[in-house]
A and B are shown apart, each in its own frame.
Chain A
Amino acid sequence: MIWVTWAQHRREALVSGIILTVAAALLVITGLIMLADFQSSGAASCAPAAGPAVGVFNAGTSCEPVVGAFFSRWLTLTGAASLALMTLPLLLGVFIAAPLLSREFEQRTYLFAWSQSITSLRWAVVKLGLLGAAVLTSAAALTVLVMWWHSPLDRAFYDGP
């Protein structure tokens, strides 16, 4: 049943995989550039390793224009990235995931699957379980990557790691 699910959905898996890989590559590249800028512009030295947000408490000091300039350089990109990362799951869902299930019912192929020797319950559990696990794993990986990507900005302006 695992092979079956894979065989049936490998095309969608590949397309989603490529889209997610491209997104991840873009995040890694821009993230490294942003991190380098964070270090070289001096914004990093204004930010304590942990503790209160620098941007607020540096008001009036020499750090304020440095952190402000760093922030404004990356403002457009972070805005665009947030929007893209919010819409990406929606687009994947609408154009890849939804047809994946609706096609099975539209073409009545679930009847073909149910005509084999496995129960419809097991069919549904394995299929939805595997697809769900794939979605959750990629979503979790993407989340970790975005947290890393955004960390210079977090360190410059907000509480947190």
Chain B
Amino acid sequence: MSAALEAIALTKRYRTTPALTECSLRIPTGHVVALVGPNGAGKTTLLHLAMGFLNPTAGHIKVFGWSPQAQPTIVLPRVGFLAQDRPLYRRFKVRDLLEFGRRLNPRWDSELARLRLERLAIPLHRPVGKLSGGQEAQVALALTLAKKPDMLLLDEPLSNLDPLARREFMQVLMDAVAEEGLTVVLSSHIIADLERTCDYLVILAQGQVQLAGEIEGLLDSHRTLVGGPSDRALLERDTSVIHSSHTPRQTTMLVKLNGRPVAGQWEEHHVGLEELVLAYLSRPSGDSSAQPEPVEPARLQ
């Protein structure tokens, strides 16, 4: 089974500014993926590469095993994309946008989109520019879903929405996922929005994947340790320290377990998603010591 999205040593530079640097990633089908990272981490670049809007500088990107650059007519009908700020032709009536989609997509399901919008009481005859922000977002989502994609790529879909609109957007999205078994990749820098809905996490920073995996497994394999000044060398034998903060009396560390019990006088806590993401994002740049690779023996003394 080929991955829904796969990047192999993917590099993208804009003139001289690197956006992605030898980025490798494999997202299996059927997940709802949170793609998180700070602004400028390369999230949008990765999604645009996956849609074939951009060409990689080096490396490869594959969507369901196909190249979006070389086989756009195979990839595009299978992937629904919602760009940042959810751009729509604002002068078009909702109904005209449905017609727009019908004419440009082979797998289009107008009826489904119409039903979804009617259920949300969105008037089809109104120009999109005259809808509320939340309604506009729902129209954008309905159009993306009407394409009947196998995968949805949503770039900051919740930006500039009020909390109620966010919740309704996620509600409709998750209903669709449940009905149709889509793979979804959602980029965001607000982790709270993703916590309830996503089951897979990809952390992107400085143009590279810092961490990727099923959220449950990731939360299981990380711990927060709180203790006094202690034998850090011993700790580094048993775990990888992702992030640490010190006060004169106390040390707090977020560590990745390496399958051994943690030695020393540490108070162990489970980690939350937000905590985990922040720990990886606040790692000093270029420090890849916590990549999910085995710890090198050289580091043991």
A143 is an interface residue with CB less than 8 A from chain B: no
Whether the pair B105, A117 counts as a contact (CB closer than 8 A) is: yes
Whether the pair A111, B101 counts as a contact (CB closer than 8 A) is: no
Instruction: Give B residues with C-beta under 8 Å from A.
Output: 51-53, 72-73, 76-77, 80-85, 87-92, 96, 99-101, 103-107, 144, 147
A73 is an interface residue with CB less than 8 A from chain B: no
Whether the pair B89, A115 counts as a contact (CB closer than 8 A) is: no
A107's contact among B87, B92, B101, B104, by CB below 8 Å, is which?
B87
B147's contact among A7, A108, A111, A117, by CB below 8 Å, is which?
A117
Q: Whole-angstrom distance from the CB of B103 to the nearest CB of chain A?
A: 6
Whether the pair A115, B85 counts as a contact (CB closer than 8 A) is: no
How many residues of chain A are within 8 Å of chain B by beta carbon?
19
Q: Whole-angstrom distance from the CB of A156 to the nearest CB of chain B?
A: 49
Q: Whole-angstrom distance from the CB of A91 to the nearest CB of chain B?
A: 22
Of residues 85 to 138 in A, which have CB atoms within 8 Å of B's CB atoms?
107-109, 111-120
Q: Can you add 15 more A-B contacts, CB < 8 Å, to A7-B96, A7-B99, A8-B92? A: A3-B99, A108-B85, A109-B88, A111-B53, A112-B83, A113-B104, A114-B51, A115-B80, A115-B82, A115-B144, A116-B76, A116-B147, A117-B106, A119-B72, A120-B53
Query: A115 to chain B: which residues have CB within 8 Å?
Result: 51, 80-83, 144
Whether the pair A11, B105 counts as a contact (CB closer than 8 A) is: no
A108's contact among B52, B73, B83, B92, by CB below 8 Å, is which?
B83
- What residue in chain B is nearest A8 (Cβ atoms)? B89
- What residue in chain B is nearest A115 (Cβ atoms)? B81
> What are the 9 tightest A-B residue pairs by CB atom distance, in nearest-first order?
A116-B104, A111-B83, A115-B81, A117-B77, A108-B87, A117-B105, A119-B72, A117-B76, A109-B87
